[in-house]
Amino acid sequence: MDKNQPINIILDRDGVINLDSDEYVKSPDEWLPIDSSIQAIALLHKAGHRIFVATNQSGIGRGYYTTNILHEMHQKMHSIIHQAGGKITDIAFCPHAPEDNCACRKPKAGLLKDLAIRNSIDLKKALVIGDSLRDLQAADKVGANAFLVLTGRGKKTQRDNPSPPYKIYKNLYDASQAILS
């Protein structure tokens, strides 16, 4: 990656931007940002990078919440990020349960390809940041660079995959500092 060129950065949502939950994040009230992540997105945006979100949302397919509730959560996210001076350019989400065997659920690359088509992203020059192995595997499938963050499920991902071939950062803020340096 050329640090002088704007980068298309694709983030996982739960565990990277907001706190994750084993019981699923099911409402705007349960959607709680990781403060340093909001600041990181604002800094990256202000530096000219485009920020996207690719997120598995199987809670829809499992009947825990609706697509409308998901949109309300995303409105809250957009508002908080905007207030900090940042911007999410586009969001792709998979509403399917794992057993649906769709093409979009990470570790498959459908969400990344969808964002690429809609936003003219060269995925081979993009950066994917996630907290789970499936985020990183989706990046691998399209030739994108990938960073692992240790928030959310990141520590478990690192523990289960010793010496992964990815750069590892404490959180999205630390990853953003590496990108901006």
pLDDT at 86 > cutoff 70? yes
Q: To the nearest whole number, what is the mean pLDDT of the chain?
A: 96
Domains and their CATH numbers in the chain: 8-180 (3.40.50.1000)
- pLDDT tens-digit series, residues 101-121: 999 999 999 999 999 999 999
Q: What average pLDDT score do residues 64-85 get?
A: 98
Reading phi first (left if > 0) and then psi (alpha if -120 to 50, else beta), residue 143 is in: left
Q: What is the DSSP letter of 124?
A: G
Nearest CA to 116 among 4, 17, 12, 10? 10
Pairing of strands 50-56, 90-94: parallel
Torsion sign across C-alpha atoms 66, 141, 118, 180: positive
Higher pLDDT, 4 or 170: 170
pLDDT at 3 > cutoff 70? no
Percent of the chain with pLDDT over 90: 94
Q: What is the largest CA-CA distance in the chain?
A: 44
User: How many residues are listed for the chain in this entry?
Assistant: 181
Report the SS3 class of residue 176: helix
- Residues that are catalytic: 12, 14
Rounded Cα–Cα distance for residues 155 and 118 (Å): 32
- pTM, to two decimals: 0.96
